[in-house]
Amino acid sequence: MATVRHRPEALELLEAQSKFTKKELQILYRGFKNPCPLSHQECPSGVVNEETFKEIYSQFFPQGDSTTYAHFLFNAFDTDHNGAVSFEDFIKGLSILLRGTVQEKLNWAFNLYDINKDGYITKEEMLDIMKAIYDMMGKCTYPVLKEDAPRQHVETFFQKMDKNKDGVVTIDEFIESCQKDENIMRSMQLFENVI
């Protein structure tokens, strides 16, 4: 894997495909090419694998265990499921997340939650995601994290999202419910100034 040198598409092509400017793409690529400067293991340059994702995320959330969430995130970014996130995948994902429409963002979020990508979010899938998120909090939280906190959160979520109460959430239900929720709509603009 280390000898495979993956060269990304031309800058103009990427600029056309994504919503970033050339300068932003340059900054992103420089960071991408040097993904784990502090680790003692070799990083194949040009693509990012799951281990790197996990390590990067663990740097941002030192208190908890972010490996599970990083795993789900990796699967969401790795759209062609080849085990590595290339720069194009990365830019595609980031473009949606940072510069996409609300619809696209919600789509992406739905894709993240739908672990087996079958178009339905079941309670088990949601529970996995929720547990992964709560894992990132770590042990030292206030109030003390209870065992069934993720489960309760899932229940709340399903009551809000599952309109026809059939136990699964489809993409339409999801988007509809989210669009009704002002909080969610408002927070969708939160991360736009990131670069």
Partner 1 sequence: MAAGVATWLPFARAAAVGWLPLAQQPLPPAPGVKASRGDEVLVVNVSGRRFETWKNTLDRYPDTLLGSSEKEFFYDADSGEYFFDRDPDMFRHVLNFYRTGRLHCPRQECIQAFDEELAFYGLVPELVGDCCLEEYRDRKKENAERLAEDEEAEQAGDGPALPAGSSLRQRLWRAFENPHTSTAALVFYYVTGFFIAVSVIANVVETIPCRGPARRPPREQPCGDRFPLAFFCMDTACVLIFTGEYLLRLFAAPSRCRFLRSVMSLIDVVAILPYYIGLFVPKNEDVSGAFVTLRVFRVFRIFKFSRHSQGLRILGYTLKSCASELGFLLFSLTMAIIIFATVMFYAEKGTNKTNFTSIPAAFWYTIVTMTTLGYGDMVPSTIAGKIFGSICSLSGVLVIALPVPVIVSNFSRIYHQNQRADKRRAQQKVRLARIRLAKSGTTNAFLQYKQNGGLEDSGSGEEQALCVRNRSAFEQQHHHLLHCLEKTTCHEFTDELTFSEALGAVSLGGRTSRSTSVSSQAVGSSSLLSSCCPRRAKRRAIRLANSTASVSRGSMQELDTLAGLRRSPAPQSRSSLNAKPHDSLDLNCDSRDFVAAIISIPTPPANTPDESQPSSPGGGGGASSTLRNSSLGTPCLLPETVKISSLRCPRLPPSLITP
The reply on whether position 93 binds partner 1 by CB under 8 A is yes
Please say which residue, 82 or 187, places its beta carbon nearer to partner 1.
Answer: 187
The reply on whether position 171 binds partner 1 by CB under 8 A is no
Burial of 97 (0-12, 13-18, 19+ CB in 10 A): middle
Residue 31: CB partners within 8 Å, gap ≥ 6? none
Please say which residue, 10 or 190, places its beta carbon nearer to partner 1.
Answer: 190
Site string for partner 1, 64-83 (x = CB under 8 A): --------xx--x-------
Q: How far is the CB of 7 from partner 1 (least distance, A)?
A: 19
**17, 79, 82, 141: which one binds partner 1 (CB under 8 A):** 141
Check: CB of residue 173 under 8 Å from CB of residue 167.
Answer: no
The reply on whether position 57 binds partner 1 by CB under 8 A is yes
Q: Which residue has the tokens 């992406």?
A: 108
Check: CB of residue 31 under 8 Å from CB of residue 97.
Answer: no
Q: What are phi and psi of 50, to 5 degrees?
A: -65, -35
Q: How far is the CB of 55 from partner 1 (least distance, A)?
A: 9
Tell me which amino acid residue 16 is. A
The reply on whether position 187 binds partner 1 by CB under 8 A is yes
The reply on whether position 191 binds partner 1 by CB under 8 A is yes
